[in-house]
């Protein structure tokens, strides 16, 4: 049930939209509604006469009007609701406003405000976005997908809502995350919004407060598990392959044991990746590559402590392992340099409760035989930092203040320029602040954080801290994968994305201790990452056999700018 198609006039070369709706139907379609920007010819030919006020405005005037109304909202959640309402009315204007004010609005459309929105989504929902698949309608998945009005679907972001940010099981209220991720794909990467589809796999929730909430809009049942869950996912994936054979599927915010299972089961069967595992790992490795340039050292000169070995921590550990081996370390040597700390303490080969994906990073008892530890019952984080002589400390625990003054000071004893990456977000969950690092390391620590922090004034110097955000990686990876038509997204593709990202940090920025580019340059960053991805896909025999220049031109052309196309009436064929 397509509502429009993108066409090119063979005589003039003009791109336009052939529109199959008329009158009020156009004004209620967010992809087609131009509101006051419809010109006189379009108003007549599309039966819009009398439905609009007289003045014809351009998108700049509309953006100014919308920004004025945005600033009247004094609460972040109200700003979120306003922006979602604008997107539901006029997709192009929404993205024009977002791209023009990305640094200001990024915390509203995504973290941290999107978390607050997900906690209340059933209470604040005005209009639905995307597709909701549940156990009662999974049998109609082909019919559901066929009814989508988008001209093409090339990108799908899907969640089952079981692990939303650090908030846990939010059921179908977790739909705010796929919607937010697609906002970033469009604003940061330039993928056309009419190609993007957010999906909620509403398989129930084990969150009793949601089940008891009369306003909860999701599937009111305990979660599908085991064989029933596996069969549900299989039917979903097969439906995607039938309906959208060229689409990229991004798995988002699944519980960690399911996330690893789904990635391993489907990454060879459908073009897909998991941003929580692979995107986090890639952005962190890029930050570490920049830190190595600042220190003029190699990965094999470091000893890494990773606090929190869930999806993000495991993704980071895998990428560090790959970098160590790329520099020439054997598998055993590389693993000996990575110390994984979780709520169980230092992960050892016989730690009770250790799960399969953590086992490759568990230490042998022989490796710590000469350690001096505070208690024989548990190896604390301080024990690990002190005895391992760690030079790199990475936190993905969601535990505010975990990296206390004692731990940060010990890092400064271990190394003149210790690297501390406190990657948990929002700000309230950060393991430490850049100011705490500066004080404990006498301004020598090299820092990046998951949430944005202002520069720190320390002993007359301004110390910067980069925001290590997956947004630097996944939009470019998605764009490059789609343009190159790669059949798989491999470890090498993410590695090349990391290298491209680190190369974009200038010497001047590194001299200010910045490890990643600035958010304001995100469109340019996404272009370079997309090109690196497309080249790697081609060279691996997975993508289109085009020259670097041809791939560059295609990516630039693919990066959509929010503007109004001219419309012409068409008959739905």
- Residues serving a catalytic function are 110, 181
Cβ–Cβ under 8 Å, residues 395 and 431? yes
Closest CA to 398 of 353, 342, 437: 342
User: In angstroms, rounded to a whole number, what is the distance separating the alpha carbons of residues 71 and 61?
Assistant: 16
Closest CA to 102 of 178, 160, 187, 175: 187
User: In angstroms, rounded to a whole number, what is the distance separating the alpha carbons of residues 360 and 343?
Assistant: 17
Cβ–Cβ under 8 Å, residues 493 and 267? no
User: In angstroms, rounded to a whole number, what is the distance separating the alpha carbons of residues 327 and 288?
Assistant: 14
**Secondary structure class of 208 (helix, strand, coil):** helix
Q: What are phi and psi of 38, to 5 degrees?
A: -65, 130
DSSP 8-state assignment for residue 365: G
Find the helix or strand (DSSP H, E) in which 8 lies.
strand 4-8
Based on C-alpha coordinates, what's the Rg of the chain?
A: 25
User: In angstroms, rounded to a whole number, what is the distance separating the alpha carbons of residues 240 and 142?
Assistant: 9
Cβ–Cβ under 8 Å, residues 466 and 516? yes
Q: How far does Cα 104 stand from its chain's mean position?
A: 18
Residue at token pair 């020259």: 547
**Secondary structure class of 512 (helix, strand, coil):** coil
User: In angstroms, rounded to a whole number, what is the distance separating the alpha carbons of residues 238 and 286?
Assistant: 34
Q: What are the tokens at 19?
A: 């529109």
User: In angstroms, rounded to a whole number, what is the distance separating the alpha carbons of residues 343 and 61?
Assistant: 53
Q: What are phi and psi of 519, to 5 degrees?
A: -55, -35
């Amino acid at each position: 049930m397509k509502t429009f198609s993108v066409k090119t006039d063979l005589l003039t070369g003009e791109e336009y939209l052939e529109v199959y709706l008329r009158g009020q139907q156009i004004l209620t379609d967010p992809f087609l509604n131009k509101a006051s920007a419809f010109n006189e010819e379009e108003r007549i030919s599309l039966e819009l006469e009398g439905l609009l006020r007289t003045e014809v405005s351009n998108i700049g005037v509309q953006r100014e009007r919308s920004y004025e109304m945005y600033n009247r909202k004094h609460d972040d959640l109200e700003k979120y609701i306003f922006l979602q309402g604008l997107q539901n009315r006029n997709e192009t204007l929404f993205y024009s406003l977002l791209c023009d004010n990305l640094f200001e609005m990024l915390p509203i459309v995504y973290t941290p405000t999107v978390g607050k929105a997900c906690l209340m989504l059933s209470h604040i929902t005005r209009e639905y976005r995307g597709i909701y698949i549940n156990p009662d309608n999974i049998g109609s998945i082909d019919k559901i997908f066929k009814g989508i009005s988008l001209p093409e679907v090339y990108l799908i972001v899907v969640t089952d809502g079981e692990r939303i940010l650090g908030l846990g099981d939010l059921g179908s209220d977790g739909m705010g995350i796929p919607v937010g991720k697609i906002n970033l794909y469009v604003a940061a990467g330039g993928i056309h919004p009419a190609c993007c589809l957010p999906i909620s796999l509403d398989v129930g929730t084990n969150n009793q407060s949601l089940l008891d909430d009369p306003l909860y809009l999701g599937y009111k049942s305990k979660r599908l598990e085991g064989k029933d869950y596996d069969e549900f996912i299989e039917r979903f994936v097969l439906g995607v392959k039938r309906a959208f054979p060229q689409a990229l599927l991004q798995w988002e915010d699944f519980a960690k044991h399911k996330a690893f299972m789904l990635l391993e089961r489907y990454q060879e069967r459908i073009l897909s990746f998991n941003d929580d595992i692979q995107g986090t790992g890639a952005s962190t490795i890029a930050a570490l590559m920049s830190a190595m340039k600042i220190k003029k050292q190699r990965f094999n000169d470091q000893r890494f402590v990773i606090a929190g070995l869930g999806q993000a921590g495991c993704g980071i550990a895998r990428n560090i392992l790959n970098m160590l081996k790329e520099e020439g370390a054997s598998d055993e040597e590389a693993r000996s340099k990575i110390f994984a700390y979780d709520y169980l303490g230092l992960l050892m080969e016989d730690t009770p409760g250790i799960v399969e994906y953590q086992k490759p990073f568990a230490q042998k008892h022989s490796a710590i035989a000469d350690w001096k530890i505070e208690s024989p019952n548990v190896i604390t984080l301080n024990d690990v930092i002190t005895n391992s002589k760690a030079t790199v400390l990475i936190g993905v625990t969601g535990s505010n203040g975990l990296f206390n003054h004692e731990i940060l000071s010990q890092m400064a004893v271990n190394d003149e320029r210790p690297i501390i990456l406190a990657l948990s977000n929002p700000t309230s969950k950060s393991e430490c602040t850049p100011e705490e690092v500066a004080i404990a390391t006498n301004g020598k620590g090299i820092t990046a954080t998951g949430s944005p922090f202002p520069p720190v004034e320390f002993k007359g110097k301004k110390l910067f801290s980069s925001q290590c955000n997956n947004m630097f990686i996944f939009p470019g990876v998605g764009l490059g994968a789609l343009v190159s038509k790669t059949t798989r997204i491999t470890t090498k593709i993410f590695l090349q994305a990391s290298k491209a990202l680190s190369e974009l940090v200038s010497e001047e920025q590194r001299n200010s201790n910045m490890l990643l580019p600035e958010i304001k340059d995100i469109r340019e960053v996404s272009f370079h990452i997309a090109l690196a991805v497309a080249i790697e896909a081609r060279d691996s025999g997975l993508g289109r056999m085009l020259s670097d220049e041809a791939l560059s031109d295609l990516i630039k052309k693919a990066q959509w700018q929010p503007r109004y196309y001219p419309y012409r009436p068409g008959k739905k064929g």
